[in-house]
Amino acid sequence: MDQFASCFGKAGSLIRLNCKTLEYKYFPFDPKGYRLVLVDSCVKHELASSAYNYRRQSCERAAAAIKKNHPEIDFLSDCKRVWLDEVRDQISSEDFIRAEYVIGEVQRVLDVCDALERGDYETVGEMMYQTHFGLSKLYEVSCEELDFLNRLARRLGVTGSRVMGGGFGGCTINLVKNELYLPFVAAAKAEFALKFGHAPKIYDVVISDGARRL
């Protein structure tokens, strides 16, 4: 995904990418009255790669169980939620919640694309919070520092906030109304430093064109 965005990024747009087929589509991203802010926790957890292997294996087991009833599917992204419920007693509770997150996230992506076409950034923001909840509680790739930043954003009235990237440390991405930007940044620095002993780094995000000849 990172390499694809670096090559095919387009100013003023977000990309919906199907990683199975590499089909992609641009959606308008012009949040007037908002700023997109990356908050870097400066935390890196060393177990991320092995933990992701376990999650991939969980998803593969859940998909294999569903495939017995629905042989046309190859990946969880092909699955309907009701199909997961059909095999609930055939897979572990851990495999179930991992798959529950993935299937739910596919629908959230579609919902966000619809909202972007309407210019409905409140819905976009709420989907960001729902994604963070899923990444934290179902897929379990968040961490204490990222959950802290996400809760702080919600408390301060930030429109949307979620884990950015692979999790287990790293950043949150936040959709912030202009009038809340300075209070949010000040509170994020002060409250995070008070709890964790160091301030996060703040980066304003600008969606731009990908790699190109200058």
Residues annotated catalytic, as ranges: 2
Dist CA 166 CA 171 (whole Å): 9
35 contacts 203 by C-beta, under 8 angstroms: no
Beta bridge partners of 48: none
Count CB-CB contacts under 10 A for residue 95. 23
Kind of pairing, strands 13-17 and 24-28?
antiparallel
CA nearest 37: which of 162, 174, 164, 165? 174
Strand partners, 27: 14
Where would I find the H helices in 40-143? 48-69, 81-86, 93-118, 121-133
